[in-house]
Amino acid sequence: MSNAKNSTFRFGLHYYKKCIPAAILTQLMGFAATVADLFLPLLFEMFIDYVICSNTDGNTSIFSFLLQTEKYPVHSFRLFWHLAFFYIGLLLIRIILVYLKKLINQVIGLKLETTLRYKTYAKLMTLDSLTLSNFNSGELLQTINSDTIMYKDLFCKMIPTIIDSSFAMILSIVILAGMSPWLLLVPLLLTPVFMIELRRFKKLSRERYKEIRNCNSNMTLTVQENIEAVRLVRAFTNENLEEEKFSDANEKLKKAHLDQIALSAKFEAVFSSIKQAAYIGTIAVSSVLVLTGHFKIGFLVACSQYVMKIMNYVTQINNNFFQMQQQVVSGLKMLNFMNTQSKVQDTDAGITDEKNKMPSIRYENASLTLSGKKVLDKLNLQIPYGKKIGITGATGSGKSMMLEVLVRNYELSGGKIFINEKDSREYSLKELRSMFSYVFQEAFLFSNTIKSNIAYAEHGTDEQIITASRHAQAHDFISRLPEGYETIVGERGIGLSGGQKQRLSIARALMKNSPVLIFDDSTSALDVETEKKLLADVKKFYPEKTILISAHRLSSIKDCDEIIYMKDGNIAERGTFDELIKLNGHFAGVWKIQEMQHSSFVDFDSLAERSQPEGEK
Ligand SMILES: Nc1ncnc2c1ncn2[C@@H]1O[C@H](COP(=O)(O)OP(=O)(O)OP(=O)(O)O)[C@@H](O)[C@H]1O
């Protein structure tokens, strides 16, 4: 096995370790079932040679018969019944053992699958936004949902079957060697052919399974995007284009599967030919041995059964190695994902310091480079606790990023951020993030009740939930819903307008009750009046909190203690509203136009161009 495959195996073994005692028990059951199974041809041989083919009458029991060194034909009904009893007894034992073994193995498999799914999910939660953006969602869903199921089969199906088959094969060889070493010649001669063919097929199989997996994740992504963008597709009447894209992904998946089916068929044809050759070879050799008087007919039947068993086990082992490539591919994908290092590293410092309930913030030459582009460029800013700061600027100027780096969704490429004069990286992520109630640009609601969505971070009383909703201007519309706070929203619930979703997200952040509130363009879908009321209420009811509001609509931030105008990842202008108007720069230019237009939508790119201060033109 190559290094990659070794590590893939070791990675799974780490989680499988706890199941090893149960796995050993099932393996022992498997061995016992094999022993029972391998006894059957011997009983069959006695039945043919000493019950059916004999013509001497006798009255022998199976025990006395087995103990005799010199066996003779008995043609006894007593022996017949004893043989039948033993045969059925062994069959029953075998069936019970195989049943128990499969049951326990399935439970072990389910346990391992659940652990693997949990671990991959937990890993997903630790990754920072930039690292996560390197994976597409189809790929991530494939890893968490399908690869975990596939990979656990390596430990709970493939490896146990290979061990079982190897044990049975070795035992069959030993028995056959005891009966007639000549018949071992055939399987021994064919084994190298098996090995060479298997090596060739294994490599091809792994390639095919890789292709199937890639096509699968592409397919998942296509379906997911189409579900999310269904309204967009209809609005652009682009159903045909999307259908073509879907059909293309679907066809590629079909082709990948067909290629694998063709390979499997070829594999089976080749291996069944080798098996048939073994069978014919055995018949030929044993016919000679019977004709020359070396074998009785029942002995011949038993020997050929062992040869066939050996060949079946060899085929089964090969088949498992062939199919195992699918599990190896899934394991490699999982290993790759689990080895992905988050750019944001957590610390062990976990205890909440009382004074962090009133954090001051300081950016010191904070820089962020994403995909080679400077998104924040040596940003310096001090925000004492309790200040209300408005942030505005052209689209793409870095407003969201300067807020996201506060909670370390992205890691700074240079400079530092201090919280209470302590480097933010020295806080545990849990503690750092507990200081901020963040309302993101896109309002996301879980498929759950409104109440649970609002009480997402804090399990508050009904009264607290209603209070937060009132302050977020959401209580009135929630009360008008037939189910009120118990209404299910999100993907599986009723539809809400963009503004309603934003208000629920704000209520959720207010419920969290952190000392710093961050509104990242999160009131953009509200009408001017509601937005004004909401922000006024937030300032009124949470006067002590630091509030950072990023907005395009300048009226939203007009009353802030300080306004920051961002440009190219840095602060272009800062001051109170009056100071910025007096400055007559970018901000004043945008303000004039917004006032003139009374519009809620502004194209900052063009406005920023037009409103450049005299000196910069
Ligand atoms: N994951 C990413 N990889 C690379 N570049 C990114 C990534 N996320 C954001 N950017 C870039 O960072 C820059 C700043 O983005 P940011 O979201 O902070 O802008 P913004 O000022 O908030 O814009 P808007 O007002 O449109 O929300 C943009 O140029 C954007 O293209």
Give 160-169 pLDDT, tens digit per residue: 899 998 999 8
Per-residue pLDDT for 506 more than 90? yes
> Which of ligand 1's atoms lies nearest the C-alpha of 521?
27
151 φ/ψ angles, rounded to the nearest 5 degrees: -65, -35
Residue 526, helix vs strand vs coil: coil
CA distances from 172 to 154, 307, 372, 589, 596 (A): 25, 8, 64, 90, 93
Amino acid at position 435, single letter: M
Per-residue pLDDT for 605 more than 70? no
For residue 605 and ligand 1, the question of a CB distance below 6 A is answered with no
Kindly give, in sequence order, each residue whose CB lies less than 8 Å from that of residue 36, ignoring residues fewer than 6 positions away. Answer: 90, 91, 93, 94, 97
Helix (H) / strand (E) element for 59: namely none
Ligand 1 pocket, mutate which of 344, 400, 442, 557 (most atoms under 8 A from CB): 400
Let me know if 169 is exposed, middle or buried by CB neighbors in 10 A (0-12, 13-18, 19+): buried
Q: How far is CA 257 from the centre of its chain?
A: 22
For residue 401 and ligand 1, the question of a CB distance below 6 A is answered with yes
pLDDT tens digits, residue range 160-208? 899 998 999 898 888 888 877 777 777 778 778 877 877 788 788 888 8
Query: Cα–Cα distance between 157 and 324 in angstroms, integer?
Result: 10
The protein residue with its alpha carbon nearest to ligand 1, atom 2, reads 370
pLDDT tens digits, residue range 78-112? 777 777 888 888 889 999 999 999 899 889 999 99
> Residue 56's pLDDT is what?
45
Which domains are present in the chain? Answer: 12-338 (1.20.1560.10), 385-415+424-616 (3.40.50.300)
Residue 183, helix vs strand vs coil: helix
CA distances from 317 to 321, 337, 341 (A): 6, 30, 37
Query: Cα–Cα distance between 263 and 481 in angstroms, integer?
Result: 58
Per-residue pLDDT for 517 more than 90? yes
Per-residue pLDDT for 222 more than 90? no
> Residue 617's pLDDT is what?
37
Per-residue pLDDT for 307 more than 90? no
Lowest model confidence (mean pLDDT) among 267-271, 284-288, 584-588? 284-288
CA distances from 379 to 101, 153, 368, 405, 446 (A): 64, 52, 9, 11, 35
Count CA atoms closer than 13 A to 119's CA, side-chain side.
18
Query: Cα–Cα distance between 569 and 376 in angstroms, integer?
Result: 4
> Residue 494's pLDDT is what?
66
What is the percentage of the chain residues whose pLDDT exceeds 70? 89
The strand order across the sheet containing 516-520 reads 436-439, 516-520, 546-550, 388-393, 562-567, 570-575
Number of DSSP helices (H) and strands (E) in the chain, helices first: 22, 10
pLDDT tens digits, residue range 60-82? 545 555 555 555 555 566 777 77
Nearest to 226 by CA among 243, 212, 210, 251: 243
Amino acid at position 101, single letter: K
- Mean residue pLDDT across the chain: 83
Interface confidence (ipTM) of the complex: 0.95
- pLDDT band per the 50, 70, 90 thresholds, residue 55: very low
> Residue 282's pLDDT is what?
78
Query: Cα–Cα distance between 125 and 132 in angstroms, integer?
Result: 10
Ligand 1 pocket, mutate which of 367, 399, 601, 603 (most atoms under 8 A from CB): 399
Query: Cα–Cα distance between 503 and 65 in angstroms, integer?
Result: 88
- Contact present, 502 and 519 (Cβ < 8 Å): no
For 488: left if phi > 0, alpha if psi spans -120 to 50, otherwise beta; the answer is: beta
Per-residue pLDDT for 320 more than 70? yes
Q: Ligand 1 centroid vs 48 CA: distance in angstroms? A: 83
For residue 551 and ligand 1, the question of a CB distance below 6 A is answered with no
Instruction: Enumerate the H helices of 229-296 as residue ranges.
Output: 230-235, 239-291
Amino acid at position 333, single letter: K
Query: Cα–Cα distance between 175 and 307 in angstroms, integer?
Result: 10
Torsion of CA 149, 150, 153, 155, to 10 degrees: -90
Q: Ligand 1 centroid vs 256 CA: distance in angstroms? A: 38
Q: Ligand 1 centroid vs 399 CA: distance in angstroms? A: 8
Q: Summarize the confidence of residues 570-580 as an average pLDDT.
A: 92
- Contact present, 215 and 256 (Cβ < 8 Å): yes
For residue 521 and ligand 1, the question of a CB distance below 6 A is answered with yes
